[in-house]
Structure 1
């Protein structure tokens, strides 16, 4: 082929007139083996028609751009390396000297001190495109602008839009006008709208000393099934947390309960029947967060707060469901209504179908994973309720850890759970309850943990004080397993029971870390570098020219684990314990100035790309443990994004090396 293929990205998004225009701005270039592009040649955009072009920086091989039987890679030779060294601010105790040397010896224009070089690995044909024509198209066409953007987030968005459109209209010509927008794109847009996009219920507030009769009259007059209850702040009620402890809600169910108790409605006070410590949501949060909160905490109404922490409306469950027309909340209701273990199996099975549907609909992987985390937690809590008596439930706390705790486990890979027991409480059947819990989950499709990080293991079924003692030992890292166990516990998320037990353990984690060797975090971060670099993955294509075939890319080792653990180490260093998801940790790190907001966004986009591709493999093969991707089977756009995300991982690992002085002789 010696011309542009308008059926492949990035030029398959061009309109007819734009295609005719770009045709006039191209010419064929031939590069003999080992011949390099000159400095003048670096001012063009290229599509590889035949052969392979290698990109290097200071003699280091970075990427290959190849023509295959499936698609043709492209590259913009004008793109130059950016300065990655300052993405993470320097560490005082460990790396202050290195940071000082960096600032002395690295000029402000260091980003321009190096240039990428390109040479032919074999005889190659390139289609050279005038850079001015590319720039003109980028101005006219938002799709081409996003596809060729230097920002990973924009290119990810472009990829998502293409995936949605191809699913909705697989055989239609992909044009740049905005008339082709599938249902999948609409679902994604709805989930990312602010909560204020949904009609909210009016705010009606009464005093805690009002009678139930007055409350019923207010609800009837307003046509509502609830009323907010305000009580006077006191020191005991934490006056600085007014919307957690001093704002309550009284519902029609509470009125019915009072009637069944035959109380005098004209004298009974609202404060005796209202529920306080409400779950609320900010007006700036998106609808996916509201849905997640309702599922996680099994609530039907969410007061919406403005920037001054004042209630501006109440978001009702029915209004949210009508707006979204999704069935995750229905699954939550089915789980809640299950009155036997057998009855719990059907909604558990439906969770897998929900994942497939939402992924096919183009919903962002981060949104899906957090909703699935909430649904799984609801399953675990319900199962524990069905197994143990009330006394056990009230004196224990179930937590999940690892990817489940972080809200980043999409498919049911394995169980990582623990049982924290209140000090002084005992029950002779706890081991049997734990065995029933873990085995029932395994029967439902949640595999047992190969590392035995489950409550059937006595190590993960202990009173709070014993857990604290174990944690203090783990910070000494006397055994190789200690860092693994500590990593799991740092990701812990509450499921059910007495949440104060987890809060106590989390507080001890912070104390134990502060008392540990100052160099602990350095050795802890080292694990992020344990897997080798994947910077020559393009050699997967050598079978096309008759050479041996290497392994596929392990997405977990090459991308997910280095990002997750490196960010976990940064969070530990900066005393971030409440945030357990990688996204939340990145936001906290950006808030503290440890990394820039832009860098946080890039790292999260790369992580979600790896997670989404892993889910693609799992859904296509029905193998929940699948994590290896064959680059030869990816489109040119997917390969481009994979290369970019692997490059993000590589630069992040270099940042960790610099920050903690790792791998330094």
Structure 2
């Protein structure tokens, strides 16, 4: 291979891609090309064979002497191995070629010189939070999506125009024209609101106001705003959640300008505006079918751009909830059930479901509602949700099941019964109810139901320790010496949900219940647990980043399965992961194990692991 080609190869391998041209050339000049036959041992030791290897072709197995030769890891093209031994992080590792293999070999002396580069060194010594941050930054740079994670303050803002509520329509229009804006901030005593050009047009054309009328009765309250230092992506999320196309931007002291959706869209191409437009115009179930496809396209697009799964999930769940509420309105033609409370639970309630894998939902209603008519309506509603691409729940936790379509009093009694006659299934029911959020109807019914749940917990001193035992239900798929424990299938797969995602979600859920945290999203719960000093900032951030990474890998796996028309599950084939991803996965499972130990000690479950 010519020197220029070798430099090009190194530039594709982490962390050599962080080296400047001169150091890349130094690395390339120090490389030897070495061939290994199938099953041939690869010499590597600190004393006699101190080398770093980079795989050009073939596969190499890494084993630990004390684990009887079991594979710790497999390295394919563009992967590197040997650094752990050279850095004395692991000293009892052996390597052999799984198939005919070509590698580049670099002497330890050159490797040690390259470690003087801080970016290169960071790859080997940084903690998982910094590694994951760099990983996401790299994805965003490669996809030119950095703008999504830029601050609001970089966006072009419309001028802030502030008026009193007694201002006339004529003066308001003149001010909008003078400052080239279509929205003004309005002060009315202690209240602040917003008036737009659309509000003025409706007032004049529909409600009978004239140019001398005050704008007081046309103002919308409260002000929907965002901090100038917040992410542009969160501005998009907020516009989606509240169904608005502009936000007031604020700093620490006051409002400073207006951010419009059209300017936001000009900064990064995004389909969520199209989804919202289709939703608003939908008048039939057939119209909503188009929305689900648009949401799927949005998920794939954002994932390919390297946007963190945590942010994608928040946006997608807002869209899903608006879709579900719209479906309710379309089907409830006589408006019989407008006050009935429709709730989503589990991953939907936590705003963490990205790919529609199943539905967990329920209905809480007032005693005065015609329960038979509502039950029939819910059968239709569940069937239509399935047609829209929300698969049925394997456990039948859906509004079509009478157990999940109850009056408030009956639901409260059912919750009490779950406590008085506990089982593994009822613990699961309590878990998903804790995560519930109201989508349609009166949300206070759900708040009262959760208050019943919390009151039952306080009555039972040992409940939380028993509830938390599910954190230990599944083994973490990592061996004593850091090897990934995979299934013996073609792709060496790992169930990410059982192995890491569920233990974090449920452990955080238990702690949130203990400390009275009402938020449902796991990342928000982690932040509140940090504020309650349950664990420190460093560990909390590490835990959140680990969860996000595991969810990102799971999403990538699901999108691939979906594109190939395969059954969607929670597994990832480790053979498809880059070496960097495999290393990060090992680190992530290490964090999961640390969190399990924390939960075990916190709830005094010694010996549970």
Q: Scaled by the length of structure 2, what TM-score is found?
A: 0.84
> Equivalents in 1 of 2:269, 2:294: separation in Å?
16
Residue 294 of structure 1 pairs with residue 234 of structure 2: no
Residue aligned with 2:406, SS:
strand
Counterpart position of 1:574:
515
1:68-102 Cα shifts (integer Å, max 9, x gaps) = 5784434435879xxxxxxxxxxxxxxxxxxxxxx
> Equivalents in 2 of 1:371, 1:576: separation in Å?
22
Counterpart position of 1:516:
459
Residue 458 of structure 1 pairs with residue 402 of structure 2: yes
Q: CA RMSD in A?
A: 3.8
Counterpart position of 1:645:
588
How far did residue 406 of structure 1 move? Answer: 1.6
The 3 A distance-change label for structure 1 pair 13 and 323 is: closer
The 3 A distance-change label for structure 1 pair 290 and 465 is: farther
The 3 A distance-change label for structure 1 pair 25 and 662 is: farther
Residue aligned with 1:284, SS:
coil
Which one of the candidate residues 18, 23, 31 is aligned to 1:18? 23
Counterpart position of 1:64:
72
Residue aligned with 2:92, SS:
strand
How far did residue 593 of structure 1 move? Answer: 1.7
Tell me if structure 2 keeps the 8 A contact 1:576–1:588: yes
Residue aligned with 1:148, SS:
helix
Counterpart position of 1:154:
130
Residue 307 of structure 1 pairs with residue 261 of structure 2: no
Residue 251 of structure 1 pairs with residue 179 of structure 2: no
Counterpart position of 1:118:
91
Residue 617 of structure 1 pairs with residue 557 of structure 2: yes
Q: Which shifted more, 517-526 or 549-558?
A: 549-558
Residue aligned with 1:278, SS:
coil
The 3 A distance-change label for structure 1 pair 540 and 389 is: same
> Equivalents in 1 of 2:486, 2:449: separation in Å?
50
Residue 528 of structure 1 pairs with residue 485 of structure 2: no
Higher RCO (CA-CA < 8 Å; seq separation 6+): 1
Residue aligned with 1:52, SS:
strand
The 3 A distance-change label for structure 1 pair 128 and 386 is: same
> Equivalents in 1 of 2:238, 2:65: separation in Å?
46
Which one of the candidate residues 529, 533, 541 is aligned to 1:593? 533
1:145-170 Cα shifts (integer Å, max 9, x gaps) = 45334222332244345556xxxxxx
1:590-630 Cα shifts (integer Å, max 9, x gaps) = 22221222222221222222222222222222236232223
Counterpart position of 1:203:
160
Tell me if structure 2 keeps the 8 A contact 1:73–1:636: no
The 3 A distance-change label for structure 1 pair 395 and 66 is: closer
Tell me if structure 2 keeps the 8 A contact 1:52–1:65: yes
The 3 A distance-change label for structure 1 pair 540 and 459 is: closer
Tell me if structure 1 keeps the 8 A contact 2:176–2:183: yes
Q: Within 5 Å, which residues of 2 pair with 1:250-269?
A: 250-261=195-206, 263-265=208-210, 268-269=213-214
Residue aligned with 1:532, SS:
coil
> Equivalents in 1 of 2:516, 2:415: separation in Å?
16
Residue aligned with 1:347, SS:
helix
Q: Within 5 Å, which residues of 2 pair with 1:24-35?
A: none
> Equivalents in 2 of 1:47, 1:19: separation in Å?
15
The 3 A distance-change label for structure 1 pair 194 and 8 is: closer
Counterpart position of 1:91:
none
The 3 A distance-change label for structure 1 pair 74 and 598 is: farther
| Unmatched tracts of structure 2, length 5 or more | 35-39, 98-102
Q: Scaled by the length of structure 1, what TM-score is found?
A: 0.78
Tell me if structure 2 keeps the 8 A contact 1:146–1:158: no
The 3 A distance-change label for structure 1 pair 275 and 120 is: closer
> Equivalents in 2 of 1:25, 1:609: separation in Å?
35
Q: Which shifted more, 5-14 or 326-335?
A: 5-14
Counterpart position of 1:552:
493
The 3 A distance-change label for structure 1 pair 304 and 653 is: same
> Equivalents in 2 of 1:534, 1:541: separation in Å?
7
The 3 A distance-change label for structure 1 pair 16 and 482 is: same
How far did residue 138 of structure 1 move? Answer: 5.1
Residue aligned with 1:277, SS:
coil
Residue aligned with 2:341, SS:
strand
Residue 489 of structure 1 pairs with residue 433 of structure 2: yes
> Equivalents in 1 of 2:291, 2:264: separation in Å?
21
Counterpart position of 2:379:
435
Residue 400 of structure 1 pairs with residue 344 of structure 2: yes
Residue aligned with 2:14, SS:
coil
Tell me if structure 2 keeps the 8 A contact 1:401–1:489: yes
Count of paired positions: 583
Tell me if structure 1 keeps the 8 A contact 2:132–2:545: yes
Counterpart position of 2:222:
277
1:530-589 Cα shifts (integer Å, max 9, x gaps) = 01231239577999xxxx989631111111111111111121111111x21111111111
Counterpart position of 1:89:
none
Q: Which shifted more, 515-524 or 638-647?
A: 515-524
> Equivalents in 2 of 1:468, 1:79: separation in Å?
59
Which one of the candidate residues 167, 176, 179 is aligned to 1:222? 179
Residue 137 of structure 1 pairs with residue 114 of structure 2: yes
The 3 A distance-change label for structure 1 pair 199 and 47 is: same
> Equivalents in 2 of 1:280, 1:506: separation in Å?
29
